């Protein structure tokens, strides 16, 4: 539901998003259940306790949220919450969307026709030249280029599209410039393009932040083009996420003798479109319409209760291997609303991890 937030509501939205064990899926379910972040915050301790949490759940204080807001403002950044009309339509169409993003530069670029170009950090000179030229051509055709400010292909894509519009998505905070040698490129993107981050200002990116960053890169884009990627490349994660989100995926073919082509060649083998130039991307985008926000279940004034036996049964069914919520409903032989409520309580206790796409894995409780 699109709505403007008051300062107090935005602060509570931020506090809920930064609460321990509250990821995008749990956040979305809490808002669907309680309607307001403040009501969800008040209910969190009891929900976590019912899920098996022994100690208190860590909820940021109002002062901590105000500090993050002040830190962002000092950088010239803007916080946009998922329910607000300024939130990018492409991200709002994700199920679920990230609860919020920080933005520096021109946020208007996020709602233009967008294409992501990603690839190897240790890229060949030819690969970087191709990425730079592809970004420039797509920019001249009216598209904004999205990438991750990394070395290699990402940097080349940003350089090629700076005159026409580029978006850098960071894993750390909105001020976390990595690698450090991209400080000048970062400054030029802030001045001419847009920088986006889901993390709080001042945060240095760690490994677990990059899948979230990659999900935003894919989510902002109508198509993702992979230029050079080894088998274990993070670019392949971005391509997989794009495919799951219903975006177009293209890959640049390469020599079978170059390890940097193994990932892209495998993407083509799996059905990705071949990209040999801008015309291939434009052809893939023909007929693709705008993004639509998925229907959200109205919040419930009367919450569905899950009993302890059901919660423990579900905890026993979970493992490190992702399983769908529907499969858990069948295995537990319980009503779906009760199963979903129990899974949210387990997630808040750290005993389950709710993933996009309706999947669940066993959590690592503190």
Q: Which of 253, 285, 317 is the last residue of a domain?
A: 285
Domain-embedded: residue 298: no
The enclosing domain of 321 has a CATH number of 1.10.10.10
Q: What is the CA radius of gyration of the chain?
A: 21
- Taking each helix axis as running N to C, give the angle between helix 7-17 and helix 62-74, from 0 to 180 degrees, rounded to the nearest 10: 100
Tens-digit pLDDT profile for residues 145-168: 999 999 999 999 999 999 999 999
Q: How far is CA 325 from CA 24, 315, 329, in A?
A: 16, 12, 6
204 and 266, same domain (yes or no): yes
Domain-embedded: residue 264: yes
> What pLDDT band is residue 364 in, cutting at 50, 70 and 90?
confident
d(CA 358, CA 258): 37
Nearest Cα residue to 165 out of 196, 190, 134, 143: 143
123 and 256, same domain (yes or no): yes
Average pLDDT of span 78-101 = 96
Q: What is the pLDDT of residue 294?
A: 57
Nearest Cα residue to 146 out of 198, 70, 216: 216
272 and 347, same domain (yes or no): no
273 and 148, same domain (yes or no): yes
Domain count, the chain: 3
d(CA 313, CA 320): 16
Q: Which of 60, 91, 122 is the last residue of a domain?
A: 91
Domain-embedded: residue 187: yes
Range of the domain at 74: 7-91
Domain-embedded: residue 293: no
230 and 264, same domain (yes or no): yes
d(CA 241, CA 96): 13
Tens-digit pLDDT profile for residues 238-266: 999 999 999 999 999 999 999 999 999 99
Q: What is the pLDDT of residue 299?
A: 47
The DSSP line for 205-245 is: P-TTHHHHHHHHHHHH-SEEEEES--TT-HHHHHHHHHHHT
- Distance in Å from the first CA to the final CA of the chain: 34
78 and 206, same domain (yes or no): no
Q: What is the pLDDT of residue 2?
A: 85
Asked if residue 195 lies in contact with residue 177, where contact means CB atoms within 8 angstroms, the answer is: no
Q: Where are the alpha helices (DSSP H) in the chain?
A: 7-17, 24-34, 37-50, 62-74, 89-92, 125-140, 153-161, 183-192, 209-220, 234-244, 262-269, 278-285, 308-317, 325-332, 336-348
pLDDT of residue 111 exceeding 90, the answer is yes
Asked if residue 104 lies in contact with residue 194, where contact means CB atoms within 8 angstroms, the answer is: yes
pLDDT of residue 293 exceeding 90, the answer is no
pLDDT of residue 317 exceeding 90, the answer is yes
| Phi, then psi, of 267 in degrees rounded to 5 | -60, -45
68 and 208, same domain (yes or no): no
pLDDT of residue 280 exceeding 80, the answer is yes
173 and 280, same domain (yes or no): yes
> What pLDDT band is residue 303 in, cutting at 50, 70 and 90?
low
Tens-digit pLDDT profile for residues 196-212: 999 999 999 998 899 99
Average pLDDT of span 31-56 = 93
Tokens of 252: 């640049």
113 and 246, same domain (yes or no): yes
Domain-embedded: residue 301: no
d(CA 145, CA 161): 6
Average pLDDT of span 283-289 = 83
113 and 54, same domain (yes or no): no
261 and 332, same domain (yes or no): no
pLDDT of residue 99 exceeding 70, the answer is yes
- Residues whose CB falls within 8 Å of the CB of residue 4, separated by 6 or more in sequence, listed in order: 84, 85
d(CA 18, CA 155): 30
pTM: 0.92
Tokens of 191: 């001045």
Q: What is the pLDDT of residue 301?
A: 45
Domain-embedded: residue 100: no
Residue 65 C-beta-side C-alpha neighbours within 13 Å: 18
SS3 291: coil
The enclosing domain of 170 has a CATH number of 3.40.50.450
Asked if residue 253 lies in contact with residue 131, where contact means CB atoms within 8 angstroms, the answer is: no
Domain-embedded: residue 98: no
Q: Which of 225, 253, 285 is the last residue of a domain?
A: 285
84 and 117, same domain (yes or no): no
Tokens of 140: 């001249």
Mean pLDDT, the chain, integer: 93
Domain-embedded: residue 215: yes
């Amino acid at each position: 539901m699109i709505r403007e937030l008051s300062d107090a509501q935005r602060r509570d939205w931020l506090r809920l998003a930064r609460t321990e064990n509250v990821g995008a899926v749990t956040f979305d379910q809490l808002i669907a259940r309680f309607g307001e972040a403040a009501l969800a915050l008040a209910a969190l301790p009891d929900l976590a306790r019912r899920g098996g949490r022994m100690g208190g759940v860590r909820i940021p204080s109002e002062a901590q949220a105000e500090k993050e807001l002040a830190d962002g403002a000092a950088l010239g950044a803007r916080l946009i919450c998922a329910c607000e009309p300024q939130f990018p339509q492409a991200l709002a169409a994700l199920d679920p969307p990230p609860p919020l993003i920080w933005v520096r530069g021109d946020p208007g670029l996020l709602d233009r026709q967008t294409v992501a170009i990603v690839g190897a950090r240790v890229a060949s000179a030819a690969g970087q030249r191709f990425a730079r030229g592809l970004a420039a051509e797509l920019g001249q055709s009216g598209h904004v280029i999205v990438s991750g400010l990394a070395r290699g292909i990402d940097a080349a894509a940003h350089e090629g599209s700076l005159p026409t519009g580029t978006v850098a998505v960071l894993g750390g905070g909105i001020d976390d410039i990595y690698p450090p040698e991209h400080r000048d490129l970062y400054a030029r993107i802030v001045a001419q393009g847009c920088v986006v981050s889901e993390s709080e200002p001042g945060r240095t990116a760690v490994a677990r932040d990059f899948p979230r960053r990659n999900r935003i890169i894919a989510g902002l884009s109508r198509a993702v083009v992979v230029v050079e990627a080894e088998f274990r490349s993070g670019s392949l994660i971005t391509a997989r996420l794009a495919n799951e989100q219903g975006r177009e995926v293209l890959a640049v073919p390469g020599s079978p003798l170059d390890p940097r082509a193994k990932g892209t060649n495998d993407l083509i083998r799996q059905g990705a479109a071949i990209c040999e130039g801008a015309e291939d991307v434009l052809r893939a985008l023909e007929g693709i319409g705008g993004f639509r926000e998925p229907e959200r279940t109205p919040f419930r004034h009367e919450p569905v209760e899950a009993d302890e036996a059901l919660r423990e049964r579900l905890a026993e069914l979970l493992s490190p291997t992702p399983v769908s919520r529907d499969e858990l409903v069948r295995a537990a032989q319980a009503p779906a609303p009760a199963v979903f409520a129990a899974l949210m309580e387990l997630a808040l206790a750290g005993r389950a991890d709710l993933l996009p796409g309706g999947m669940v894995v066993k959590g690592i409780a503190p």
